[in-house]
């Protein structure tokens, strides 16, 4: 019995309908009790979640909803909370960790009866799961709105011990990933999940329940995602047995979302629950609602579709559907408009089933490569733990073999091959030895995607690319292929008081009273008195009469060979130099290209683009010529690297050298020929000349040891090389 001040409050029993919704009067009463003492000073949030609504509020709202207080529909609540969610795994993990650490998080489920007593640590994990983790596990949820309330997900947690411990295990596992080490808590919940599941499977009353089914399905997904193919197969066979004993997949119609996820379960390369009649018509034509969702303008995909159209009719139909799906998700993210949940689920299920049913002969390497790439693309949408990179070893191995066996023969094939490698690199290619990937991808990025992330992303979107899902890992891969000095420049800028926000973009600019506010793609807001917009240039390549042979649009580089002949003109009468070919959009390279093109017309000369010197006028300046270490590794060159820093860079001609100056030379290990040089210094452009001459001339270090260059830094190279 309650005593003291709390005794007067008493208990009130509130009834709810089949969807967990209470009457309006009861909801008001519940809110008045729940919010007592809650309208107090808001605690400051740590780190990256600062500026957002406190996680305690989100957790309270969700637990209320699960318990029956549904004044705010889950649709409106999801729209509100999803607007707070950031897209990156790092931020998702930070939110999950914060939800676990919020003061009072452990008290949110104090008065809810679970199948067994759980401690405060487990209640904190439940808070993290129902606040964020439940939605973060399925990336597609960010863009959808539920059709009906789904209180049964919470209902299972306080009826089914195996399901309860599966939630606790998955949440604890994600937190372990954040910390970088496995905890005893995670092992405990894994043991209890398996132990309780075995008990339920041996009991006829619980063996075929929905909650038992979803635990077995989760085990199959986890095992497959982490490469345990044998265990995954075993779990899928058990899942099929449960479905068969229940009377087939149709028995789950009461929970269409669960039914849809079961449809997507596969063992190896085959669907576990096969649908006999597979149509290769457009998925968007399968229902009037999907037809209304289909993007009306698909012109941005014309470049890639023109290539696939000639390969295979069924593959072409599926490719168009995945492209329309990616555009639909991008539009949803940009506009905030949510798509009806089951429409999106049905669309993805329809696409995946057709991809798995599609088969090609062994000699159809390119179509099979594209089919596998589309499957890899879909894995980034289906399912995942924040901060955890799944492996999918079977799919990764098949895609790797297809990539190794394929050699593009046209510009269009090179472009789609570059996209396929980027998809593999951001989804299923894991492990330390990715030399083969860099060897193929780095040259293709430069020639087919562009030398900046802005160019690369635009070209990737013309195949298919979901910005909010793929940008983070895509930028990492892009930077790995195209440079190793970005971090050094960032450190120098930050040391000068410049705040740098890498891997982000501006999504909104607003002018408030006396201030300008810039909203970044990760949700953060920057405030200042002035805003400076720095925009680059794009070559005007439209209206040149090349649209038909090459499907060019504004800013798309014209593909050329090393003699600067346009590749898509078989007769070889057209040459393109300077910015329009995208090879080196630099002022001095345009003059160089003009000379090469005129010489080529007369004598078939070719350009040496490798030896082209480049200067980036950041602060400090970056100057380079030839290969970097990563570029040399990518093409299989055995190299020696010599690096020097501030003290040796300083010389009489620039005594005020940048105190954190840096230089690196790449030398062929066998021939001792200088292959490349990179400098970071206030006067980097002045340091480049001697190295550029050596790279262009193919000089060995020994042959150049008697030169006395104006910049003494080259003499330091010779000294470090032992000459």
Q: Taking Cα atoms as reference points, which of 534, 378, 392, 385 lies closest to residue 464?
A: 378
Structural domain boundaries in the chain:
4-36+48-271, 283-483, 487-528, 547-607, 614-720
- Superfamily the domain 614-720 falls into: FAD/NAD-linked reductase, C-terminal dimerisation domain (3.30.390.30)
User: What was the pLDDT predicted at 719?
Assistant: 64
> Locate tokens 């020639």: which residue?
447
Helices 120-128 & 161-179 angle (0-180, nearest 10)? 80
Higher pLDDT, 222 or 1: 222
Whether residue 593 has a cis bond before it, omega within 30° of 0: no
Task: List C-alpha distances in Å: 104 to 42, 96, 109, 123, 154.
Answer: 13, 15, 10, 10, 20
User: What was the pLDDT predicted at 65?
Assistant: 30
Number of H helices, E strands in the chain: 30, 12
User: What was the pLDDT predicted at 327?
Assistant: 92
**What is the dihedral sign for C-alpha 260, 264, 266, 272?**
positive
CB 124 within 8 A of CB 58: no
Radius of gyration of the chain measured on its C-alpha atoms: 30
Higher pLDDT, 606 or 463: 463
Higher pLDDT, 21 or 613: 613
Tokens standing for residue 668: 């062929």
Residue 6 has pLDDT above 50, yes or no: no
> Locate tokens 């120098």: which residue?
492
Give percent above pLDDT 70 in the chain.
67
User: What was the pLDDT predicted at 423?
Assistant: 95
367 band by pLDDT with thresholds 50, 70 and 90: very high
CA–CA dist 572, 597 (Å, integer): 12
Average model confidence (pLDDT) across the chain: 73
CB 283 within 8 A of CB 259: no
Query: Within a 10 A sphere around the Cβ of 610, how many other Cβ atoms?
Result: 14
User: What was the pLDDT predicted at 381?
Assistant: 85
Provide the CB-side half-sphere exposure for 323 (13 A, CA): 24
User: What was the pLDDT predicted at 716?
Assistant: 64
183 band by pLDDT with thresholds 50, 70 and 90: confident
State the Cα angle at 156 between 153 and 162, rounded to 5°. 120
Task: List C-alpha distances in Å: 76 to 49, 219, 341.
Answer: 22, 31, 14
Dihedral of the CA atoms 292, 294, 295, 300 (nearest 10)? -160
User: What was the pLDDT predicted at 309?
Assistant: 92
CA–CA dist 64, 131 (Å, integer): 11
Provide the CB-side half-sphere exposure for 391 (13 A, CA): 12
Higher pLDDT, 480 or 277: 480
Q: 612: Cβ–Cβ under 8 A, 6 or more apart, which residues?
A: 584, 586, 589, 592, 625
Tokens standing for residue 504: 């982000």
User: What was the pLDDT predicted at 103?
Assistant: 46
Higher pLDDT, 462 or 265: 462
148 band by pLDDT with thresholds 50, 70 and 90: low
Strand order of the β-sheet with 525-528 is: 506-512, 515-520, 525-528
Dihedral of the CA atoms 181, 182, 184, 190 (nearest 10)? 160
Query: Within a 10 A sphere around the Cβ of 178, how many other Cβ atoms?
Result: 17
pLDDT per residue as tens digits for the range 668-701:
888 888 888 888 887 777 778 788 888 877 888 7
pLDDT per residue as tens digits for the range 25-80:
666 556 555 445 444 443 333 333 333 332 222 222 223 333 333 333 333 333 33
User: What was the pLDDT predicted at 73?
Assistant: 39
Q: Taking Cα atoms as reference points, which of 534, 538, 521, 377 lies closest to residue 455?
A: 538
pLDDT per residue as tens digits for the range 409-459:
898 999 999 999 999 999 888 776 678 888 889 888 878 888 778 888 999
Dihedral pair phi/psi, residue 119, rounded to 5°: -80, 175
Dihedral of the CA atoms 82, 84, 87, 88 (nearest 10)? -130
Least confident of 387-396, 482-491, 545-554: 545-554
Query: Within a 10 A sphere around the Cβ of 716, how many other Cβ atoms?
Result: 18
The strand pairing partners of 640, in sequence order, are 667
> Locate tokens 């009790």: which residue?
33
Tokens standing for residue 35: 């919010």
Provide the CB-side half-sphere exposure for 147 (13 A, CA): 11
DSSP code for 268: T
**What is the dihedral sign for C-alpha 519, 522, 523, 529?**
negative
- Has this prediction a pTM greater than 0.85? no
DSSP code for 133: I
The strand pairing partners of 651, in sequence order, are 654
Tokens standing for residue 38: 């809650």
**What is the dihedral sign for C-alpha 310, 314, 319, 320?**
positive
SS3 358: coil
CA–CA dist 439, 709 (Å, integer): 34
What is the rounded average pLDDT of the residues 532-539?
74
User: What was the pLDDT predicted at 77?
Assistant: 37
User: What was the pLDDT predicted at 596?
Assistant: 73
pLDDT per residue as tens digits for the range 591-610:
777 777 777 776 655 555 56
User: What was the pLDDT predicted at 525?
Assistant: 86
Is 602 buried (19+), middle (13-18) or exposed (0-12) by CB count in 10 A?
A: exposed
């Amino acid at each position: 019995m309650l005593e003291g001040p709390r005794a007067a409050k008493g208990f009130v029993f509130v009834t709810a309908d089949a969807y967990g919704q209470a009457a309006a009067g009861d909801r008001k009463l519940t809110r008045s009790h729940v919010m007592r003492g809650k309208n107090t000073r808001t605690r400051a949030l740590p780190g990256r979640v600062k500026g957002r609504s406190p996680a305690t509020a989100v957790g309270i709202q969700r637990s209320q909803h699960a318990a029956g207080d549904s004044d705010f529909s889950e649709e409106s609540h999801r729209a509100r909370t999803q607007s707070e969610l950031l897209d990156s795994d790092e931020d998702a993990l930070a939110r999950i960790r914060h939800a676990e650490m919020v003061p009072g998080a452990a008290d949110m489920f104090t008065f809810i009866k679970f199948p067994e007593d759980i401690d405060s640590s487990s209640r904190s994990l439940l808070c993290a799961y129902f606040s964020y983790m439940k939605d973060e596990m399925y990336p597609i949820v960010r863009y959808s709105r539920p059709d009906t309330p789904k209180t049964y997900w919470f209902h299972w947690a306080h009826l089914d011990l195996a399901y309860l411990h599966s939630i606790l295990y998955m949440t604890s596992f994600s937190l372990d990933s954040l910390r970088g080490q496995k905890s005893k808590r995670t092992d405990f919940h894994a043991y209890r999940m398996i132990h309780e599941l075995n008990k339920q499977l041996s009991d006829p009353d619980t063996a075929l329940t929905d909650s038992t089914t979803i635990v077995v399905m989760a085990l199959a997904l986890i095992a497959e995602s982490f490469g345990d193919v044998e265990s995954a197969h075993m779990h899928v066979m058990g899942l099929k047995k449960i479905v068969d004993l229940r009377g087939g997949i149709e028995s789950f119609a009461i929970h269409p979302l669960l039914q849809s996820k079961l449809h997507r379960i596969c063992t190896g390369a085959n669907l576990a629950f096969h649908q006999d009649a597979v149509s290769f018509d457009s998925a968007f034509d399968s229902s009037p609602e999907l037809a209304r969702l289909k993007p009306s303008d698909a012109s941005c995909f014309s470049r890639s579709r023109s290539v696939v159209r000639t390969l295979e009719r069924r593959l072409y139909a599926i490719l168009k559907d995945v492209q329309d799906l990616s555009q639909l998700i991008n539009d949803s993210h940009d506009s905030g408009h949510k798509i009806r949940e089951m429409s999106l689920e049905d669309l993805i299920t329809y696409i995946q089933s057709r991809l798995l049913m599609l088969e090609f002969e062994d000699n159809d390497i390119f179509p099979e490569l594209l089919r596998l790439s589309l499957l890899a693309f879909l894995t980034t949408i289906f399912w995942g733990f924040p901060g955890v990179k799944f492996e999918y070893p079977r799919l990764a191995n098949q895609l790797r073999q297809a990539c190794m066996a394929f050699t593009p023969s046209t510009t269009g094939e090179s472009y789609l091959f570059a996209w396929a490698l980027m998809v593999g690199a951001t989804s299923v290619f894991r492990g330390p030895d990715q030399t083969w990937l860099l060897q193929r991808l780095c040259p293709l990025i430069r020639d087919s995607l562009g030398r900046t992330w802005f160019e690369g992303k635009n070209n990737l979107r013309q195949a298919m690319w979901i910005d909010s899902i793929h940008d983070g890992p895509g930028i990492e891969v892009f930077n790995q292929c195209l440079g190793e000095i970005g971090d050094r420049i960032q450190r120098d800028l930050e040391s000068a008081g410049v705040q740098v926000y890498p891997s982000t973009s501006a999504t909104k600019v607003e002018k408030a009273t006396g201030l300008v506010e810039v909203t970044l793609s990760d949700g953060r807001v920057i405030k200042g008195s002035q805003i400076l917009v720095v925009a680059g240039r794009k070559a005007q390549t439209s209206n040149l009469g090349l649209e038909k042979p090459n499907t060019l649009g504004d800013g798309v580089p014209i593909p050329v060979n090393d003699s600067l002949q346009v590749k898509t003109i078989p007769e070889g009468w057209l040459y393109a130099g300077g910015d329009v070919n995208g090879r080196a959009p630099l002022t001095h390279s345009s003059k160089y290209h003009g000379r090469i093109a005129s010489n080529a017309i007369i004598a078939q000369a070719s350009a040496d683009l490798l030896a082209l010197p480049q200067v980036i006028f950041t602060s400090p300046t970056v100057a380079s010529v030839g290969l970097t270490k990563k570029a040399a590794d990518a093409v299989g060159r055995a190299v020696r690297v010599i690096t020097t820093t501030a003290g040796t860079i300083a010389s009489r001609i620039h005594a005020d050298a940048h105190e954190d100056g840096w230089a690196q030379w790449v030398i062929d290990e066998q021939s001792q020929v200088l292959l490349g040089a990179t400098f970071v210094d206030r006067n980097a452009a002045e340091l480049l000349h001697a190295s550029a001459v050596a790279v262009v001339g193919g000089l060995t270090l020994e042959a150049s040891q008697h030169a006395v260059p104006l910049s003494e830094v080259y003499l330091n190279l010779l000294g470090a090389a032992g000459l």
